[in-house]
Structure 1
Amino acid sequence: MMSTIQNLLKELTEESVVTRKMLERVPVDKQDWQPHEKSMSIRKLAGHIAELPGWVSMTLKTDGLNFADQAYQSPEWNSNQELLEIFEKSLAEAKAALQIAKEEDLLPAWTLKNGEQVLMSKTKGEVIRHSMSQLVHHRAQLGVYLRLLDIPLPGSYGPSADDPNF
């Protein structure tokens, strides 16, 4: 039976394959495009997806994050290579942190705040699981962006409608 950490590492590794394929397709010439005025630009969304694995190592190394102390800034990138470098770096940090973590490291509380307002308080294990859900959620959001821009999508958990063998 695999430990929770082994399961998280396996899931992160599997999800990284699809995430990488999606990030490779982000159109550099459409970085400021957004499907709606309330939506993130494709630059911000893709940058956020690329950095999300980094939440694993951050969660294991800290007791929380307060946006009032450090405002969120999406990573800057100007090419698919730079975008993929951000992703590969955050993925490597996440894997390294999980590989040295112990099961008991998942138990302490971790809190996300904005000033005094508590946005989320969960165990570190729950926060890591939540960050992986966020990776999948935002990757699906990126899929909608790419579909609206008529960019062929890779399959996620099977073939996509753009797969010629579908």
Structure 2
Amino acid sequence: MSALQQFARVWKQENATTRKVLHAIPADQGDYRPFPNVKTARELSFIFTLGQGGIAAALADQWQWPPNFPPAPPTLEEVQSAFDASTQAVENAIAIATDARLDAKVMFFVGPKQPGELSVAQLCWFMLHDTIHHRGQLSTYLRGMGAMVPSIYGPSADEPWM
């Protein structure tokens, strides 16, 4: 299995789980936040789309530095639609990318306020891991907003395996 195929396989699996968590948010709870100093569910969810946009751009040789991180759309429905569109963009980019593209260099943060050079492979894996991290944060919002918590890497109280 090539490096690109390996990334694509893991991304596809994690993307399906992320979509499940994103769509577990009740339609009227996009502005829920468990504490005043944290992002709303809608804002936190939009990070998934930004990460996927980064993956697609890097794989398609369209990465720009500094990256453009627009604000979250005003509704949860728009965030969910943007996520689905970014999923398609990653699928399209994977379909045309090569393993050689993974070795290309791009600029990104390598520390707080510290830009540096990363390979496209490193950037793609970083973006995927960042999505997983923020998905975990979002999953902690679900119960507080009265939503069902889906299975992520194992069963949940709402989605048991046995």
Q: How would you bin the TM-score normalised by the shorter chain?
A: 0.7 to 0.9
Return the alpha-carbon distance in structure 1 between the equivalents of residues 43 and 116 of structure 2.
Answer: 22
Counterpart of 1:158 (choices 140, 150, 154) is 154
Partner of 2:46 in structure 1? 47
Counterpart of 1:89 (choices 65, 85, 89) is 85
Q: Secondary structure at the match of 1:119?
A: strand
Return the alpha-carbon distance in structure 2 between the equivalents of residues 77 and 4 of structure 1.
Answer: 37
TM superposition outliers: structure 1 runs of 4+ over 6 Å: none
In the superposition, relative to structure 1, how do residues 64 and 133 fare at CA in structure 2: closer, same or farther (>3 Å)?
same
- Note the aligned Cα RMSD (angstroms): 2.1
The CA deviation at 1:63 is 4.9
Partner of 2:65 in structure 1? 65
Query: What count of residue pairs does the alignment treat as equivalent?
Result: 158
Q: Secondary structure at the match of 2:44?
A: helix
Partner of 1:105 in structure 2? 101
Is residue 51–residue 75 contact of structure 1 (8 Å, CA) maintained in 2?
Answer: no
Return the alpha-carbon distance in structure 2 between the equivalents of residues 24 and 141 of structure 1.
Answer: 15
Relative to the length of structure 1, the TM-score reads 0.83
Letter in 2 for 1:78: T
The CA deviation at 1:121 is 2.8
Q: Secondary structure at the match of 2:142?
A: helix
What CA deviation, in whole Å up to 9, does each residue of 1:101-140 have, x standing for no partner? 1111111221126xxx533531111000111101111111
Question: Unmatched 5+ residue regions in structure 2?
Answer: none
Alignment partner of 1:146 is 2:142? yes
1:1-20 matches, within 5 Å, as 2-20=1-19
Alignment partner of 1:74 is 2:71? yes
Relative to the length of structure 2, the TM-score reads 0.85
